[in-house]
Each structure stands twice: as structure tokens, then as C-alpha cells.
Structure 1
Amino acid sequence: MSRLKLALFALIFLAACRTVPPPAQPHSGFTAEQQAVLRQIGFQPKGDQWEFGIADRFLFATDESRLMAAQKDSLAHTATALVNVGIVSARVEGHTDNTGTARHNEKLSLERAAAVADALAQGGMQRNRLIVRGLGFRFPVESNATPEGRRENRRVVIIVTPEAVA
């Protein structure tokens, strides 16, 4: 019985002496320089990925997928800034409001995302490193009951992650 008590005491003593490491800090996978550039050009962290914030989304007119010249210039600047810090891939997600059929909105949202991806490619990102998705009206950020809400839902979001996108 005394051996059991001794072994138990030794385990308790060793456990009490063990150094507990500090809790792990969240690691985004991006360098400090990359994170600074992402913030500077309007991206916001969301878990392990970064995406354009609400004010920086690319909004479209009803039933429209063409970018204005100023939007193309902004995207070229964004692409150049990303490539300059080694962020060479992204996911581009197009969205619509709920006017029109689901089929039409799927096509339109894909066209919107493709227009943004093409502009990013013009700014220096490789087009084959950009994943383009059309998500239709499935993920609204505002209510489609008002003109303002519908306008906010006609958007494209650019998402970057530390992992390479193939």
C-alpha cells in the first residue's frame, strides 16, 4: 500500500511542477506585413480568412455585371498590393438580390464574380489562381424587402486565405 501512496505522491508532485505553456495565440497564417497590407486595402479578418469589409464590396446595378472604370482601377490596385506581399490567390464570390429567377441569378452572380476576377488578373494576379463562384441570392447580407437592402445584396466579395488556392 505504501508503494501506491508513494507513486501517487510522485505523480501529483510531477504534475504540480510541470510548466504549463501559455495558451496558443490565434495564427492567421499571414505574415505581419501581409496583414498590414490587407487591412490597408480594406480587408477584414474572418477566422483564418480575410475578406473585403462591407464598405469595400463591389456593388452592382440591378441585372448588371459590368464594372465601372473606377472599380477596375481599384481592383488593379488591390491585386498589385496583394501580389507585392506574396498573396497570389483568392476566391471571388458573386451575389445577387432576389429579383428574377434563381437560375438567372446564379448566372448573373457568376458573371459578376468573373468580371472582378478578370480585373484582378489585369492588376497582376494569375487568373488560374482565382476561384470564381456565383452564389445567386442564397446569402443576403440585408433584407431584400427594401431597395437599399437589395442594393447591398448585389455584390462581389473577395476572400483570401493563407492556403494556396488551386
Structure 2
Amino acid sequence: MGNTNYIPETPMSTQINFGFSPCIITDRKCVVHGFKVGGEKVNESESYDLKYIANMLNVHIEKGSLEIIGHTDSTGSKKHNRKLSLERAVNAAKLLREYGLDKRFSIVKIIGKGGEEPIDTNETVEGRYNNRRIEIILNDLEYKESRFINE
């Protein structure tokens, strides 16, 4: 018999990526949520989001620079969270390149902010899930020329 009061750390409604875009280019910021508690590596959902971002940038943007910022929830010490958030950002940068992000995009900054900038409460499972994230800030973007098929 297990503990009947067990609440999973990742909310059931957010365990699967349903194909929603992690960013819109005009917002100049992409957010990938859902790292496991204490996890520096991406899981399948975050991997999908990073592949999407790399592809989207390659297709629509001529060039630009990226800042990758890692974040954690409030679980753990400040020192641990700062290190963990940096590891998340570094891993995300590596994966973006692995997933084909073109060299015309420079990654100018990779930082970890720990739990210093929550975007949600740390009092709930869902809030902590939202706070475990990386943000990709898109700077100096030059858009590719778009043409309609009938032009």
C-alpha cells in the first residue's frame, strides 16, 4: 500500500506537450517550462520545444543573438539553485545547436538566476513547475524576406 496523500511534483495536466508553441518571434522571448525537480537535463517535452525553437528561428530569422537564462523553483538552497539553473541554460544552448540552430545565431549570454525571478507561486505544484524553466531572449533579429506563393 502506498501513501494515499501523494501528489506528483509535475502536475498531470502539464506532463505532455500538446503541441503549443513555446514562443512567438514577435514577443522576442521563448519560455520552456517543466524541468524535473533537481533536473538539469531536458525531458521529452522540453526537447520537443527546443527543436521547435531551433527550427522556427532557422526558417523565419536571417540572424540574431540569443540570451539563455535558466530558472528554478524555490526548492533547494540558493547556491544549489543558482548552479542548477546555469546547468539548465548550458544544456539548452547545447541542445539548440544539436537540433540544428544555425551558426548565424550567436548565443551571447548563458546565465542561471536560480529561484530569484519566479513567474508563479512556489506554494503549489503547478507554480513550481512553471518556475522551473529556461527563457530564450531574442535580440537583434533580422527577419527573412517573406513572399507569398502567388507573388
TM superposition score category, shorter chain reference: 0.5 to 0.7
The answer for the alignment partner of 1:27 in structure 2 is none
Q: SS in structure 1 opposite 2:69? A: strand
Q: Which runs of 4+ in 1 moved over 3 A?
A: none
Query: What does residue 152 of structure 1 align with?
Result: 130
- The 3-state SS of whatever aligns with 2:67 is strand
Q: How far, CA to CA, are the matches of 1:127 and 1:103 in structure 2?
A: 34
- Higher RCO, 1 vs 2 (CA within 8 Å, ≥6 residues apart): 2
SS at match of 2:62: coil
Relative to structure 1, is the Cα distance of residues 163 and 87 closer, same or farther in structure 2, using a 3 angstrom cutoff? Answer: closer
- Which one has a bigger Cα radius of gyration? 1
Q: What is the aligned counterpart of 1:129 among 103, 106, 117?
A: 106
Aligned to 1:43: 24
- TM-score normalised according to structure 2 size: 0.67
Closer, same or farther: CA 127–134 of 1 in aligned 2, 3 Å: farther
| CA RMSD in angstroms, aligned pairs only | 2.5
Give, in angstroms, the shift of residue 73 of structure 1. Answer: 3.9
Q: Tell me which residue corresponds to 2:116.
A: 138
1:152 maps to a residue whose letter is N
Identity rate of aligned residues, in percent?
A: 31
Q: How many residues align?
A: 119
Change (3 A) 1:121 1:88: farther
| Equivalent position amino acid for 1:151 in 2 | Y
Letter in 2 for 1:62: V
Structure 2 alignment gaps of length 5 or more = 1-20, 143-151
Q: Report the Cα offset of residue 44 of structure 1.
A: 5.8
Worse-superposed segment, 136-145 or 121-130:
121-130
Secondary structure at the counterpart of residue 133 of structure 1: strand
What is the 5 A alignment of 1:1-166? 42-43=23-24, 45-46=26-27, 50-52=28-30, 57-84=32-59, 85-125=61-101, 126=103, 129-130=106-107, 131-162=109-140
Q: Which runs of 5+ in 1 are unaligned?
A: 1-39
